[in-house]
A and B are shown apart, each in its own frame.
Chain A
Amino acid sequence: MQATLPVGERDSAAGTSTVVSCRLAGFAAVSAGAEQLAVLRKKPELPPNTTLPPGFLKHSDDQTVLSLVAVSRAMIALGHPTASYGAWGVVAAPNLFGRAGMFQAYLSFRQEGAWGISPHMIPHQSLHAVSGTLSQVLQIRGPNFGISGGPKAAGEAFLVAATMISENNLPGLWVVLSGHDAECLPRPDGKGSQTPAVCQAAALALKPQTESRAGSTLLVSGADAAPAGWPEFALSDFIARLETTPPTGQWTLPGCGWVRLTD
């Protein structure tokens, strides 16, 4: 941890109490439109020696499919065996998750009543579906859960991720942020979206600062407001910043707190 002050005391000049430092050991960002998603749904990119039963992702949300691709690409880039992530955790912060699938469910319910509700709705359209799927496919056996599911989900993910990394009891944590640019609004007839929407996902491999020196650093504080002038966190902006060399940026988080990406 950096810049730690005793609980109850704050350095008003610095405006910080405890800042958590995480190593960004690797990352991947991916985006896809509807056509590409349809292909990835049937045949997603996977790390070596990882297999999926046919149709496994058939009932998954777009954000689940793309999140799996993002984590897979990050794992491939890192070059370690998939089994090496077995003790890691995975948290996922999708944005307005399940909207398309739930709209289909409501249309079916209106037509057919209870009979029309698919048994796949609960496991694959619930907020924990992304992290649960990643855990199952990639055999990640540490903690797994979903975060927020709202329009600003990604910001909350940093508070959660930093909290978990600070415990120093996980070798690493996959943090997956996803959403659509622009917002994916279903058509009233249930056949696709009103306008083309690009699905985005960013997978971050975070490690405790003590674990590894490789990679950039994420600093997170949940205690204080960001310095004046820092923009509000936005997934598109974050992905763009990840792809600069070196990746840098700083953002204020929803409600309280801030995150800074630094070399």
Chain B
Amino acid sequence: MSRSDVYVTGIGATTPLGNTYPAIAANLLNGTSGVRKVTGFPVTDHPSQIAAQVDELACPEPFRAQDFEPLPVTEKLLLGCAVNALQDADWWTRRSEVRVGLVLGTAAEWHALWESDFLGGGDAILQPHGHMESLVHRIRRVLGVSGPAVSLSAACASSNYAFALARRWLELGWVDVCLAGGGDMGVTPTGLAGFANLRALSRRNDDPQGASRPFDTQRDGFVLGEGGALFVLEPAESARRRSAHVYAQVAGFGATSDAFHMVIPSSEPGPAVAALRTALADARIDPAAVGYINAHATSTPVGDVAECRALEAVFGPALADIPVSSTKSMTGHLLTGAAAFEALACIIALDRQALPPTINLHQPDPECHILHVANQAQERPVRVTLSNSLGFGGSNTCLLLRAA
């Protein structure tokens, strides 16, 4: 099997911009912000009081509400995405005929469980867990699938790693079909406080929809988001044989680490550049052939500039003709779900031949020498997209998707 023979044939997503592909695409291309004042817990003593939350974790057919509702929120999120993705790919009713694997980018299943229980007066965190199943294995069991399953976290870069592992499992023949992606429900009292006390979050509490402003000179930090997406990956031959709807080809992947700081990206772009170049080489794509770049750009003063420097180093003069946007301007930062949502944004760009904007971009930072898709979506032919996800812990990842 050659490196490029993996297709995306199904998507399930739960996001601040909606829970169906049409709704998400419409909101994304309309420049709709999913950011608002946090609901669900008091935030009066929180430095940052805004977030992009998920409105509903809907019970997927054919599960029963009484079985689904009591599940932990992260499990509801990812189980819902998994079921919807398999249904979208038309594998749900046939999933027992094939080996379906599961690679989940998720970081906080235990923290979410412990926090929710503790704040509700429980003491689960003090009890033995050795007998318990991890979320990925519970989902595997509930889905009734037979392939291998792992979960991983590289913070913001998690879901890109999930894509890479899933693609490789298909190449190794460990699975016939693989679910890959990620998500977390990270807007929690301690999560919101932790990021805010790290001085990572925007404190533009009086203007929630204007708070996430990547590349803008007035940016003051990112906005926390929640949600995620899972994708069905399968060999191109399999997709063609069953005349599956194909969203995109998984074309290339690259990853490195800054080895600099647990939170602050390195000002030296070398490692990020290496990740980008590795992904382009993996896809056998010339930099100038990239039609759209979905930037990691979280709206932090340091990170947005650092990423632009890496893009300049890789693309050179060609960068002036490649539109770049950060959809975090609309969704906030979905943490482990960020790269998954941004892959979805790239797929929407390929599908609709329209590029999602960076909203709230009123005073572009002169340090960011890129071709912005500023405030409004842009219709433009595009066949190759590139998505950067640069995580806490120093991770640099780059995923290339191509029209199939």
Contacts and interface: CB of A to CB of B under 8 A. Distances in A.
Interface string A6-43: 11100000000110100000000000000000000000
Interface in B97-148: 99, 101, 107-111, 114-115, 118-119, 123, 125-137, 140, 146-148
A164 B166 CA distance: 11
B288 interface: no
A156 interface: yes
A50 interface: no
Contacts of B257: 90, 132, 135, 140-144
Contact of B125 (A119, A126, A163, A186): A186
Contact of B395 (A145, A150, A159, A221): A145
A156 to B, nearest CB: 4
Contacts of A248: none
B394 A132 contact: yes
B150 interface: yes
Contacts of A256: 146-149
Interface string A59-95: 0000000000000000000000000000001110000
Nearest to A114: B193
Given A123-B392, A145-B158, A150-B132, A163 B172 contact: yes
A138 B169 CA distance: 29
A186 B193 CA distance: 22
A255 interface: yes
Nearest to A103: B125
Contacts of B151: 147-150, 156
Interface string A144-186: 1111111111001001100110110100000000000001011
B176 interface: yes
Contacts of B129: 96, 151, 183
**Which residue among A183, A187, A222 has the maximum number of chain B CB atoms within 10 Å of its CB?**
A222
A127 interface: yes
Contacts of B395: 128, 132, 143-145
A148 B393 contact: no
Contacts of A169: 278
A21 to B, nearest CB: 12
Interface string B13-44: 00000000000000000000000000000010
B119 A148 contact: no
B286 to A, nearest CB: 20
Contacts, number: 258
A254 B199 CA distance: 39
B149 A255 contact: yes
Contacts of A167: 168
Contact of A122 (B45, B170, B194, B261): B194
Interface in B260-292: 260-263, 271, 274, 278
A106 B274 CA distance: 39
A64 to B, nearest CB: 11
Interface in A85-138: 89-91, 96-99, 102-103, 105-106, 109-110, 113-119, 121-129, 131-133, 135-136, 138
B366 interface: no
Contacts of B101: 222
A141 B256 contact: yes
Given A113-B45, A160-B165, A223-B147, 11 more contacts: A103-B114, A106-B115, A126-B107, A128-B391, A143-B397, A151-B134, A159-B148, A185-B126, A222-B148, A223-B148, A223-B175
Interface of B: 1, 43, 45-47, 99, 101, 107-111, 114-115, 118-119, 123, 125-137, 140, 146-155, 157-158, 161, 165, 168-170, 172-176, 189-190, 192-200, 235, 255-263, 271, 274, 278, 391-395, 397
